[in-house]
Amino acid sequence: MLCVVASGCANNRDLITKTSTATRSDVFTEAVNSDVQTAKAIIDFSFAVKSNSYYLMGTYGKHTAPPYRVHLNIDGQPIVLEAEPVLEDRSPIDSTIPESGIGWKYQFSKRIALAPGKHKLTIALPIDDVIVEREVELRTGVNSITVTPIYTRKNLRPYKGENFTAGVKALDVVVK
């Protein structure tokens, strides 16, 4: 299994741009939720992340320029995922809970149909300058890919330890 994780590097911008560029368009198709095709591998992709917010004049602001997006690329075919955030308040702030505090929760999901077998999967978060490349083995039927953010550590209270307010430093990818 090949796994490459990069974050916070100057070269990530080039890698993320490359991830968003199509070199193929015949790798996968978007599948309807109830659609299970014979002799196809179905990926149920899910990723939840919390992003910082700012408070100005009685409202909480969120990422709008650029918006928070997830860039997926499978064997050279890209897709950009967008989600409408929900303001989440997990108070009180606890240094042992990375998503404690007030911030915007994004829930990304997509169902994709493609041929079973080995595929190169690339996941990029341009806002956090994080990119992960993995070779995945997909079987016929439904496969789930769950991505979990690993947040950057903060050294100042009250957010001491890993916390979403410092941004995402890496991604944990689980394929079932």
Query: Comparing 11 with 161, which gets the higher pLDDT?
Result: 161
Q: Measure the N-to-C terminal CA separation of the chain; round to a whole number of Å.
A: 14
pLDDT in tens, 17-54: 777 777 888 999 998 766 667 789 999 999 999 988 76
Cα 100 from Cα 84, distance rounded (Å): 20
Cα 152 from Cα 167, distance rounded (Å): 6
Q: In this model, does residue 149 exceed pLDDT 80? A: yes
Domain coordinates of the chain in residue numbers? 3-169
% of the chain beyond a pLDDT of 70: 82
| pTM recorded for the entire structure | 0.83
